[in-house]
Structure 1
Amino acid sequence: MPDPTLCTEEDITRLIHAFYTRVRDDEALGPIFDAHIDDWSLHLTRMVDFWSSILRGTDRFSGTPMPKHIALPDLNAELFQRWLKLFHKTAAEQSNQAMAEQICMMADRIARSLWMGYQISHHPEVMPVGLPHG
């Protein structure tokens, strides 16, 4: 349930910008993101809006993330886990740990959902498998 008192817009912006700096610097994730994001400023704004909507209930984000992720070629569980590991690491460094705990829980759910949808879309004949925990 969104809670406008959980964090500020600045808390979210700080985490998202730090996280995507790491993503862009990551040897596996960076090239994937750079190949598919033409305007990083716009992407960061949309990601802040996305997380603000989830965490604070601002309703600033509208869109459907699943089709954009399904359209990416050659994703695998290891890439999703790498994304989550960087996300958790960045969140753990934030001063607002109540927000960090909530955002990590939501990121885990979202990553698992995107991974399941990706598998179903690309290999409908195969039973999808979840992301390993950890």
Structure 2
Amino acid sequence: MPTADLCTEEDVHQLVHGFYADVRRDPVLGPVFDAHITDWDRHLATMVDFWSSALRGTARFRGAPMPKHAALPGLSAELFQRWLTLFGETTARLGNQEMASRARALAVRIAESLWYGYQVNQAREQQGAA
């Protein structure tokens, strides 16, 4: 359950900016993200809103991530696992480990949901092409 006393907005900012700095440097994920994100400032602001909503209950995030992720070409279970690994490495460096633990648990659920949605979408597209 999100709660404002779990973390500060600065904690959320450090999580998001630290994680995406790691992603952009990653030889596997960096090119995937760079190919699809044209405005990093906007993306980071959206992700801060998302994680602030998820962790602090601010309800600032407005969006539907599933359709955007489901439409991406060439994703794999390995890419989602790499995303989770980097997320875990980023959160391990944070000072607020209670927030980090909650964020990691949520990230696992997000990755599972997005991967499932991606697979369903790919199956539908293959059936439509047949």
Equivalent pairs counted in the alignment come to 126
Report what 1:132 is aligned to.
none
Regions of 4+ moved over 4 Å: none
Name stretches of at least 5 consecutive residues in structure 1 with no aligned partner.
127-134
Post-superposition offset of 1:5: 0.1
Report what 2:102 is aligned to.
102
Deviations 1:32-91 (A, max 9, x none): 111111110110000000000011110100100000101110000000000000001100
Report what 2:75 is aligned to.
75
Report what 1:33 is aligned to.
33
Q: TM-score, normalised by structure 2?
A: 0.94
* Pairing of 1:1-134 with structure 2 (within 5 A): 1-124=1-124
Tell me which amino acid in the other structure corresponds to 2:53: S
Post-superposition offset of 1:94: 0.2
The alignment partner of 1:73 has SS state of: coil
The alignment partner of 2:116 has SS state of: helix
The alignment partner of 1:74 has SS state of: coil
Q: Distance in 1 between matches of 2:67 and 2:28?
A: 21
Q: Distance in 2 between matches of 1:125 and 1:68?
A: 15
Q: Distance in 1 between matches of 2:42 and 2:18?
A: 15
Post-superposition offset of 1:25: 0.8
Q: Distance in 2 between matches of 1:124 and 1:60?
A: 32
Q: Distance in 2 between matches of 1:4 and 1:107?
A: 19
Name stretches of at least 5 consecutive residues in structure 2 with no aligned partner.
none
Deviations 1:87-133 (A, max 9, x none): 0110011000000000000000000000000001102499xxxxxxx
Q: TM-score, normalised by structure 1?
A: 0.91
RMSD: 1.3
* Percentage of identical aligned residues: 61
